[in-house]
Amino acid sequence: MNIIIPIKQVPETSNVKMDKETGTMIRDGVESVINPLDLYAIEIGIQLKEKHGGKVTVISMGPPSAQKAIKEAIAMGCDDGILISDKKFAGSDTWATSYTLSQAVKKINDYDLILAGERATDGDTGQVGPGIAAWLDIPLATYVSKVGEIDKSSITVERLVEEGYQILKMPLPSLLTVVKEVSDPRLPTLRGKKKARATEIPVFSLENMDLKIESLGLKGSPTKVVKIDFPKVTRGGKLVKAVGDDGVKDAVNELIKFMEEKELI
């Protein structure tokens, strides 16, 4: 079972604080990490390999510094990685990103399963995984919460939908995007880190890939960002204290008044 996992490097936001004055995120000195939601894909990928053999290859499209994310994934237990990087790829939207990544998958050629994160925490679209499946014309299951039985030609998965869990039998190769429930990511090991350091990360670029130049990067992207606003996140709402029996009573009464005003009751 050969598995490909597309991962994205994103700004680390777990420790980011809000600027109380401006109500915006303080992003100074923010480190880059593997998209946290991709860790679930990496973990289930490694588990499947451990059980069924084969290997796990992570691929990441981004600047040369995205190598760090690939090495981290190898330190967790992935076998190898490929960096997909070229100045011409910069500014890709989800259409162009999924096109470029699908061409990388075609170049790798030998795979049974692709596992992607549900969405990336920066772009936050969840469109790249489905897009890769569409470009490759392979079946897709999104929001996969459980991977069940696997044989030579098929895999059974559960996907979390509004009414419950849909159980699907998919052929191989297929692409799954996974949610947190699918696995509990392990930490990198010392041995893994050593291996990661020693592993060469090949680079796929315009030069050695089969790509249509008009479909790449900012120019090749159908969607164009025309405006960016930084909204105030804080709402400046009312704050009341509820101390002692009377305090609680008063606070609740004020809340009732608020709900009446807003026609919530």
Ligand X SMILES: Cc1cc2nc3c(=O)[nH]c(=O)nc-3n(C[C@H](O)[C@H](O)[C@H](O)COP(=O)(O)OP(=O)(O)OC[C@H]3O[C@@H](n4cnc5c(N)ncnc54)[C@H](O)[C@@H]3O)c2cc1C
Q: List residues binding ligand AMP (CB under 6 A).
A: 6-8, 35, 37-38, 59-62, 94, 97, 101, 116-117, 119-120, 123-129
Tokens 């809340």 sit on residue: 255
Q: Is 152 an interacting residue with respect to other proteins (CB under 8 A)?
A: no
Residues in region 21-80 near ligand X by CB under 6 A = 36
Binding ligand X (rule: CB under 6 A), the pick from 14, 163, 224, 263 is 14
Parallel, antiparallel, or unpaired: how do β-strands 164-171 and 154-161 relate?
antiparallel
Q: How many residues touch other proteins (CB under 8 A)?
A: 89
| Enclosing H/E stretch for 145 | strand 140-150
d(CA 188, CA 183) in angstroms, rounded, equals: 15
- Write the secondary structure of 52-100 as one string of H (helix), E (strand) and C (coil): HCCCEEEEEECCHHHHHHHHHHHHHCCCEEEEECCHHHCCCCHHHHHHH
- CA distances 5 to 101, 104, 129, Å, are 11, 12, 10
Partner from ligand AMP, ligand X, other proteins, none binding residue 21, C-beta < 5-8 Å depending on class: none
DSSP, collapsed to helix, strand or coil, labels residue 32 as strand
**Could you tell me how far CA 144 lies from the centroid of its own chain?**
13
Concatenating the DSSP letter of every residue in 105-144 gives HHHH---SEEEEES--TTT----HHHHHHHHHT--EEEEE
Partner from ligand X, ligand AMP, other proteins, none binding residue 97, C-beta < 5-8 Å depending on class: ligand AMP
Site map 68..107 versus other proteins, x via CB under 8 A:
-------------------------xxx--xx--------
Stretch near other proteins under the rule CB under 8 A, chosen from 44-52, 55-63, 71-79, 171-179:
171-179
Partner from ligand AMP, other proteins, ligand X, none binding residue 100, C-beta < 5-8 Å depending on class: none
CB of 116 to other proteins, least distance (A): 11
Q: Is 15 an interacting residue with respect to ligand X (CB under 6 A)?
A: no
| Enclosing H/E stretch for 1 | none
Partner from ligand X, ligand AMP, other proteins, none binding residue 158, C-beta < 5-8 Å depending on class: other proteins
59 vs 141 by CB, closer to other proteins:
141
14 vs 109 by CB, closer to ligand X:
14
Q: Is 12 an interacting residue with respect to other proteins (CB under 8 A)?
A: no
DSSP, collapsed to helix, strand or coil, labels residue 204 as strand
Q: Is 187 an interacting residue with respect to other proteins (CB under 8 A)?
A: no
105 vs 179 by CB, closer to ligand X:
179
> What is the contact surface with ligand X in residues (CB under 6 A)?
14, 36
